Amino acid sequence: MGDALAPTLEEAFAGTGKSVEIRALDGKRLPDAIEVAAKAGEVVVAGGDGTAAGAAQILAGSDTRLGLLPLGTLNHLARDLNLPTDLEAAADVAVNGRPLRIDVGEVNGQVFVNNASIGLYPLMVRKREGLRRAKGWPKWLSTVPAALAALERLPHHRLRLDWGDGERTVVTPLLFVGNNAYSLDRGEVGKRERLTDGKLAVYAVARRRRLALIWFALRALAGRAERDLDFETLGECETLKVTSSSGSVEIALDGELRRMDAPLEFRIRPRALTVLTPSEDGQL
């Protein structure tokens, strides 16, 4: 939106009944700005899932309310909270919406609002960001060649998982840990019905050859994933320890890359974050 962003946001908030202070910041300056703004009791962030997770890192465990304007590429959290995509409607929710306390996930002290993943997806993200820097392509355009490049390598990771009932070893191209359960039903893949169940959801994609993995990805996108065939591990837990043979692990948290020292210690933080939502339907 460029220079039109600030006046567009001002116009969106004009009908909400409250005045707002709008600050456009580099991502690295967001944490300090959010900490200052949190003293007012409410912060509204405009961006995608990475921006929402950055706000949650600071606000989780406090009483400060978080409003979201879904201006990112995918906006998974906003979608699962049933937030409107129209900017004026989203601004109204951010000011006049219903406060709801939702869960967040955490790994080695870092908060995530959607999911954390190890393996194929972090590799794809790294290649995608390399293409964006080298060619100046937008995220959506960089994703397809990055995914194909990641599939060329097809890494399989040997990981040890322990969620309280004994350690198990998995060899998987992708380990996925969700903040609450994700649907695998046809037409609903990747969606969450609730963000308040107080559980981490663990998915390990079954080990397979490249063509079989591509076929799985296509079926998953079409809502035709099969639990018994496509996943080696499915479970829910409140804590999870992931151990790798290497000293550190590359992990994607809500689409943002991190390298963390092993072991990875996951936990759910029930009802830790207050967000503003559009209704009182009780679905979340």
Residue range(s) in the chain whose domain bears CATH number 3.40.50.10330: 2-103+273-277
Q: Please report which confidence band the pLDDT of residue 44 belongs to, taking 50, 70 and 90 as the band edges.
A: very high
Q: Which CATH number fits domain 112-270: 1.20.120.1750, 2.60.200.40, 3.30.230.10, 3.20.20.70?
A: 2.60.200.40
List Cβ neighbours of 99 (8 Å cut-off, separation of 6 or more). 65, 274, 275, 276, 277
Q: How many CA atoms lie within 13 A of 166 on its CB side?
A: 1
In the three-class reduction of DSSP (H, G, I as helix; E, B as strand; rest coil), residue 97 is classed as coil
User: Over the stretch 219-271, which tens digit does the pLDDT of each residue have?
Assistant: 565 555 666 666 777 799 999 999 998 889 999 999 888 999 999 999 999 99
How far is 17 from 236, CA to CA, in rounded Å?
A: 42
The reported pTM is 0.86
| The CATH number of domain 2-103+273-277 is 3.40.50.1820 | no
Residue 201 has pLDDT above 90, yes or no: yes
Q: Which of 257, 269, 236, 247 is nearest to 124 (CA)?
A: 257
Q: For residue 39, what is the DSSP state?
A: G
Q: What average pLDDT score do residues 98-104 get? A: 97
Q: Please report which confidence band the pLDDT of residue 20 belongs to, taking 50, 70 and 90 as the band edges.
A: confident
| Contact assessment for residue 48 and residue 128, using Cβ atoms and an 8 Å cutoff | no
Q: What average pLDDT score do residues 141-167 get? A: 76
Residue range(s) in the chain whose domain bears CATH number 2.60.200.40: 112-270
R_g over Cα of the chain: 19
| CA dihedral of 239, 242, 248, 253, whole degrees rounded to 10 | -50
Residue-averaged pLDDT of the chain: 85
Vertex 239: Cα angle to 234 and 245 (nearest 5):
75
What percentage of the chain has pLDDT greater than the value 90?
A: 54
> Which of 19 and 11 is assigned the larger pLDDT?
11
Residue 87 has pLDDT above 80, yes or no: yes
According to DSSP, the β-strands at 248-253 and 256-261 are antiparallel
Q: What is the pLDDT of residue 282?
A: 44
